[in-house]
């Protein structure tokens, strides 16, 4: 399956948008956190997990989805949220903890939720697998269209929830696609030190479902594999599993010293940054020219800056709002 010229430009545009968003978040996040790193300080307190380098995983899959399709993502969710069409103003406001955020500032960057486009994510490893299977089951029982896609890191494939989800999805032949973003590191643990098989797509055979492997962070390789898996799900043929070799260009979280990486690894990954590579491929193919690229980049930068201004100018919830939207028993 080959993308059209419009689809190729769409994927590149959203990769650029996601990357610039994270570059700006990185700079803003570090305000007030130096010279001694303190994640409680600055305009964006708490942990921050950047997805730069993993953009091909998001755009290659989401190019096949509509707002009606369900996506569950991970604690490293920005690229997927951007590609799924999550409201950027409300997303950035949520990251800043503002009242205009997706959850009124209560969730932060690991707990983004946008019902308008059926997107959610969680800070718990493997948490989105069960909900994605449940959403797919709901659609099937109600006779409604739509597929569910569960994104996860390669470390989540060693969780019990992964195997339970694949088993039930296969038993019930559900319209769900499982996407593993293999960046080779579960926090600071190398994949080969924690996983019994070299590739997790091989595990699909244990559940009688197709397994796809995409090498080298290949945008159009992801597009092709996802297109096949999503079409299969839409046709009622059941689930599929995709593992994508991708790259985490930053640490596990902002402030991570990354001492666990072998010498030269990070530099090698940065040399194969997927965005410059894909830009050059589009230029070479005549899908994009230099003027068009400059306009696309400028548009993406302007959109991000507008979202940041919106977030910065928004108010925080009042303290008494801490008692709202929580479960409580009846008063005696």
Q: pLDDT, tens digit, for every residue of 28-54?
A: 999 998 888 898 999 999 999 999 999
Cβ pair 54, 248 in contact under 8 A: yes
Q: What is the pLDDT of residue 1?
A: 85
The mean predicted confidence, pLDDT, of the chain is: 96
Q: Are residues 112 and 119 in contact, defined by beta-carbon separation less than 8 angstroms?
A: yes
Question: What is the separation of C-alpha 273 from the centre of its chain, rounded to a whole number of angstroms?
Answer: 17
The per-residue DSSP string of 221-243 comes to HHHHHHHHHHHHHHTT---EEEE
What percent of the chain is predicted at pLDDT more than 70?
A: 98
Is residue 330 predicted with pLDDT exceeding 60? no
Q: For residue 24, is pLDDT > 60?
A: yes
Handedness of CA 182, 153, 227, 92 (dihedral sign): negative
Q: How far apart are CA 311 and CA 91, in angstroms?
A: 9
Is the confidence at residue 309, as pLDDT, over 80? yes
Q: How many Å is the maximal CA-CA distance in the chain? A: 72
Q: What is the DSSP letter of 331?
A: P
Quick one: residue 160, left, alpha or beta (phi over 0 = left, psi -120 to 50 = alpha)?
Answer: alpha
- Residue 184 falls in which region: left (phi positive, over 0), alpha (psi -120 to 50) or beta: left
pTM: 0.96
Over residues 209-238, mean pLDDT: 98
3-state secondary structure of 61: helix
pLDDT tens readout for residues 276-286: 999 999 999 99
Q: Which fold has domain 5-310?
A: Rossmann fold (3.40.50)
């Amino acid at each position: 399956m080959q993308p059209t010229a419009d689809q190729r430009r769409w994927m590149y545009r959203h990769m650029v948008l996601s990357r610039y968003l994270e570059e700006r978040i990185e700079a803003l996040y570090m305000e007030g956190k130096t010279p001694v790193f303190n994640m409680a300080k600055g305009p964006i307190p708490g942990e921050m997990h950047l997805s730069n380098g993993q953009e091909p995983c998001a755009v290659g899959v989401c190019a096949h989805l509509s707002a009606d399709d369900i996506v569950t993502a991970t604690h490293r969710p920005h690229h997927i949220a951007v590609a799924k069409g999550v409201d950027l103003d409300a997303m950035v406001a949520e990251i800043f903890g503002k009242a205009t955020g997706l959850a009124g500032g209560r969730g932060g960057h690991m707990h983004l939720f946008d019902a308008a486009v059926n997107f959610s994510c969680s800070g718990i490893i493997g948490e989105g697998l069960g909900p994605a299977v449940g959403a797919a089951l709901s659609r099937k029982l109600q006779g409604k269209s739509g597929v569910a896609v569960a994104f996860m890191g390669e470390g989540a494939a060693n969780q019990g929830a992964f195997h339970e989800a694949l088993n039930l999805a296969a038993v019930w032949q559900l319209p769900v696609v499982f996407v593993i973003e293999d960046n080779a590191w579960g926090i600071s643990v190398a994949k080969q030190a924690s996983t019994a098989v070299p590739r997790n797509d091989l595990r699909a055979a244990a559940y009688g479902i197709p397994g796809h492997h995409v090498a080298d962070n290949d945008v159009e390789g992801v597009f092709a594999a996802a297109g096949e898996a999503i079409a299969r799900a839409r046709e009622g043929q059941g689930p599929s599993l995709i593992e994508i070799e991708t790259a985490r260009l930053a640490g596990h979280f902002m402030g991570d010293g990354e001492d666990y990486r072998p010498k030269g690894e990070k530099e090698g990954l940065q040399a194969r940054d997927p965005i410059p590579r894909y830009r050059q491929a589009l230029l070479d193919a005549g899908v994009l020219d230099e003027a068009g690229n400059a306009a696309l980049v400028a548009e993406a930068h302007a959109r991000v800056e507008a979202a940041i201004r919106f977030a910065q100018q928004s108010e925080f919830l009042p303290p008494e709002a801490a008692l709202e939207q929580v479960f409580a028993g009846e008063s005696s």
